[in-house]
């Protein structure tokens, strides 16, 4: 049996930085549960890249899977189960429970470990981690671990943070940063015990809330990972989550709950006006430069009625995003080209707030389970928004642009975000990366360790008309282990392929060959 003193050394080894609605709407939003929790999403799970794999010799375990239950940790963490599957490839599935926190899931390849550790986190409010999010990397050869964020429940339920006696600070800390770090440290320790040696390299790979956790790892625990892949990261959670309630406030105050088919007509018109204008229809290349005016659709007939001037005014305010009474901006709006049903849901003469911002206002800000969103005015919204920044920004924002410790640890980071993201305003990722460039010495110096790629037409993590990265983890592995920094990310959507360019460059059609072939596009505007 491994002695407790040895586990004390293993678990304390990482250096830390900083102390630092309605039932109908909820049921519909459970439909996006997979997107919020499946990490980088379907089609972009890590694959065993042959070029990268040559750097590491495959390793077999030095002990049985079942014997891992005999291990103990100095802090009382227990291995509650360890069982090997009969499937091919064989996997050792392990679960751990951290005191005063929650479970860690692991999947360890029995015959083909590639010497790498893979970490992943939960989306939304956490509480649940897809088994596939842990199993898929293990099938590809990674020692894989995942965290549910330190509690159990639905990713669309934020009530766990509240209690009648106050906010649950321990659970919030778990969700913010502790669960990801504990999973990483304990996961590496289990990996070392199982294979008889520590991982050669460690990678974080997640989308949405898991992307936020990856950025938090880089900011608070810069030695935990050699490479971090953060897709559509939920950074700025203190701002983008409350901003998701803005469309409902706009419609309620105007007395005009715009039906879905009118919103869809506005989106179609914006894409038609602001697409690449070169015969390529895969989404708005950069919504920030799209100046389409919804007033141009006044009078157009739709299946749910004629578009009115009042409809156009509501649309303009939703795209623009929340502002204070003096006109100054609070946060960004839903980008032109993104679906509007996520945050601007309506039913007949009433709104259907998304559970993500709905629970944020109810439990995290008003701290009252009986709070009624219909009482929220634009003036109240600004007050609540500032409260959100003040109370949760230092803990959850994950937007510290000083990544010097991560850079000095030779870490590499890839951030990518879809320009049609309907859940997390992609302008927030651009805002963060812009500040990162300013803090870390400019574009040339920053791109030595961190690069941003924007994906036109891609919705939250996956879906939409645009092409999303086919295997960004392989690109990250090559960068970390072979020094090959990605100039573009190869992206795919069905038969259509595209190069995703380093921000702010965008892919432009050369005018020759198929518009479905990435080879016929060039990056422009670096």
Q: Render 241-252 in DSSP notation, one character per residue.
A: HHHTTHHHHHHH
Query: Tokens in use for 184?
Result: 């990483």
Question: Is 181 a catalytic site residue?
Answer: no
Q: What is the spatial distance between Cα 295 and Cα 225, in angstroms, rounded to a whole number? A: 49
The continuous run of DSSP H or E covering 94 comes out as strand 91-97
**Residue 409 is among the residues annotated as catalytic for this protein:** no
Per-residue pLDDT of the chain (526 residues; tens, 9 = 90+): 222 222 222 222 333 333 333 444 444 343 333 333 333 432 333 333 433 444 456 788 999 999 999 999 999 999 999 999 988 999 999 999 998 877 899 999 999 999 999 999 999 999 998 899 999 999 999 999 999 999 999 999 999 999 999 999 999 999 999 999 999 999 999 999 999 999 999 999 999 999 999 999 999 999 999 999 999 999 999 999 999 999 999 999 999 999 999 999 999 999 999 885 555 667 788 888 899 999 999 999 999 999 999 999 999 999 999 999 999 999 999 999 999 999 999 998 999 999 999 999 999 999 999 999 999 999 999 999 999 999 999 999 999 999 999 999 999 999 999 999 999 999 999 999 999 999 999 999 999 999 999 999 999 998 999 999 999 999 999 999 999 999 999 999 999 999 999 999 999 999 999 999 999 999 998 6
Query: Does 81 qualify as catalytic in the annotation?
Result: no
Q: Which residue(s) pair with 206 in the sheet?
A: 230
Residue 153 to residues 161, 204, 266: CA-CA distances in angstroms? 12, 23, 36
Residue spans per domain, the chain: 1-20+56-199, 241-375
Q: Which residues contact 372 (CB under 8 A, 6 or more apart)?
A: none
Q: What is the model's pLDDT at position 18? A: 38
- Name the H helices within 325-426: 355-359, 378-396, 404-408
Residue 278: its pLDDT value, please? Answer: 54
Q: What residues contact residue 311 under an 8 Å CB cut-off, 6+ apart?
A: 256, 258, 262, 294, 298
For the beta carbon of residue 450, count every other beta carbon within 10 angstroms: 22
CB atoms within 10 A of CB 394: 14
Task: Spot the catalytic one: 224, 238, 400, 421.
Answer: 421
- DSSP-based three-state secondary structure for 494: coil
Q: How far apart are CA 296 and CA 282, in angstroms?
A: 23
Catalytic residue among 431, 460, 463, 471: 460
CB atoms within 10 A of CB 473: 26
Rounded (to 5) percent helix, strand, coil in the chain: 40, 20, 45
C-alpha count within 13 angstroms, C-beta hemisphere, residue 42: 10
pTM score of the predicted model: 0.90
The per-residue pLDDT for 283 is 76
Q: What pLDDT shows up at residue 277?
A: 54
Q: How many Cα neighbours within 13 Å face the side chain of 218?
A: 34
101, 208, 388, 429: which one is catalytic? 208
Left if phi > 0, otherwise alpha if psi is -120 to 50, otherwise beta: which for 162? beta
Q: Give residue for tokens 């963490």.
A: 77
What is the structure's pLDDT at 5? 25
pLDDT of residue 59: 82
């Amino acid at each position: 049996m491994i002695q407790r003193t040895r586990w004390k050394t293993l678990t304390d080894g990482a250096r830390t930085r900083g102390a630092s609605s309605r039932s109908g709407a909820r049921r519909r939003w459970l439909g996006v549960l997979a997107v919020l929790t499946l990490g980088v999403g379907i089609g972009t799970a890590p694959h065993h890249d042959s070029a990268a794999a040559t750097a590491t010799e495959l390793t077999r375990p030095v002990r049985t899977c079942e014997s891992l239950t005999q291990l103990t940790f100095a802090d009382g963490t227990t291995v509650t189960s360890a069982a090997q599957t009969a499937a091919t490839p064989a996997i050792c599935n392990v679960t751990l429970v951290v005191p005063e926190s929650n479970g860690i899931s692991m999947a360890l390849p029995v015959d083909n470990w590639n010497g790498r550790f893979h970490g992943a986190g939960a989306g939304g409010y956490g509480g649940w981690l897809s088994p596939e999010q842990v199993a898929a990397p293990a099938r590809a050869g990674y020692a894989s671990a995942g965290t549910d964020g330190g509690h159990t429940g639905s990713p669309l339920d934020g009530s766990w943070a509240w209690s009648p006696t106050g906010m649950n600070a321990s659970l919030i800390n778990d969700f913010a940063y502790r669960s990801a770090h504990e999973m990483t440290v304990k996961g590496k320790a289990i990996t070392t015990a199982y294979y008889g040696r520590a991982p050669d390299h460690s990678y974080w790979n997640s989308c949405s809330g898991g992307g936020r956790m990856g950025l938090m790892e880089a900011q608070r625990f810069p030695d935990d990972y050699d490479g971090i892949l953060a897709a559509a990261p939920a950074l700025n959670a203190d701002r983008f989550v409350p901003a998701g309630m803005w469309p409902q406030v706009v419609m309620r105050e105007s007395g005009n709950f715009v039906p879905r088919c009118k919103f869809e007509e506005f989106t179609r018109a914006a894409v038609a006006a602001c697409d690449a204008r070169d015969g390529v229809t895969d989404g708005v290349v950069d919504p920030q430069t799209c100046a389409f005016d919804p007033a141009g659709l006044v009078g157009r007939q739709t299946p749910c009625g004629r578009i009115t001037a009042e409809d156009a005014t509501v649309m303009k305010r939703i795209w623009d995003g929340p502002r204070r009474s003096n006109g100054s901006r609070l946060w960004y709006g839903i980008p032109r080209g993104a679906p509007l049903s996520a945050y601007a849901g309506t039913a007949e003469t009433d709104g259907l707030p998304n559970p993500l911002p709905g629970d944020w206002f109810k439990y995290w800000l008003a701290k009252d389970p009986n709070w009624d969103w219909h009482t929220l005015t634009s003036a109240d919204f600004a007050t609540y928004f500032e409260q959100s920044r003040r109370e949760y920004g230092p803990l959850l924002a994950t937007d510290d642009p000083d990544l010097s410790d991560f850079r000095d640890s030779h870490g590499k980071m890839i951030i990518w975000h879809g320009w049609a993201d309907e859940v997390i305003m992609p302008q927030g990722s651009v805002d963060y990366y812009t500040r990162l460039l300013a803090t870390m010495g400019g574009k040339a110096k920053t791109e030595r360790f961190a690069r941003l790629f924007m994906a036109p037409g891609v919705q939250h993590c996956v879906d939409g008309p645009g092409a999303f990265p086919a295997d960004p983890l392989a690109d990250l592995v090559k960068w970390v282990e072979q020094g090959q920094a990605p100039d573009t990310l190869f992206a795919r959507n069905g038969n259509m392929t595209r190069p995703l360019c380093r921000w702010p460059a965008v892919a432009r059609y050369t005018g020759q060959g198929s518009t479905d072939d990435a080879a016929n596009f060039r990056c422009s505007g670096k």
